[in-house]
Amino acid sequence: MGSLDRDAMEHRTGPPLEREAGFGSRLLTAGLVIAVAGVAFWFLRGIRPLPKSASREGLLVVNINDATHEQLETVPGIGPSLGARIIAGRPYQSVDDLLKVAGIGPQTLERMRPFFKIDGKTARR
């Protein structure tokens, strides 16, 4: 530090240099914004776009003996391969006969049961 700088500092009048007024509240606000954004990101990270068929999912009660592949895929839990296995196992005497299809166990069948029937036409729920 030069002698001119030292002299200027010794003879300065007025309050000492301080941080700008309100600095702490601005820092707190910035921290809160970052925290809220982080929490929002954490909650939204698991949201995935719906597949095209999801808008129709669960809207039909399908006749497992004559439903099309597309109609079977509206049942929650049935994708392309399971739908093909259901079609290959036709005809069915009861909804319980679906237990013979690979990939359908007792718990899966109970979740799907409200969407199946064996007589009549496939219809809206």
Considering 11-15, 17-21, 91-95, the range whose residues carry the highest mean pLDDT is: 91-95
Is 23 a residue whose pLDDT tops 80? no
Q: What is the pLDDT of residue 37?
A: 85
Within 8 A by CB and 6+ apart from 101, the residues are: 82, 85, 86, 89
Does the domain spanning 52-124 belong to CATH 1.10.150.320? yes
Q: Which residue has better confidence, 73 or 58?
A: 73
Lowest average pLDDT, out of 52-61, 81-90, 107-116, goes to 52-61
* The model's pTM: 0.55
Q: How far apart are CA 119 and CA 47, in angstroms?
A: 38
What are the boundaries of each domain within the chain? 3-44, 52-124
Q: What is the pLDDT of residue 91?
A: 95
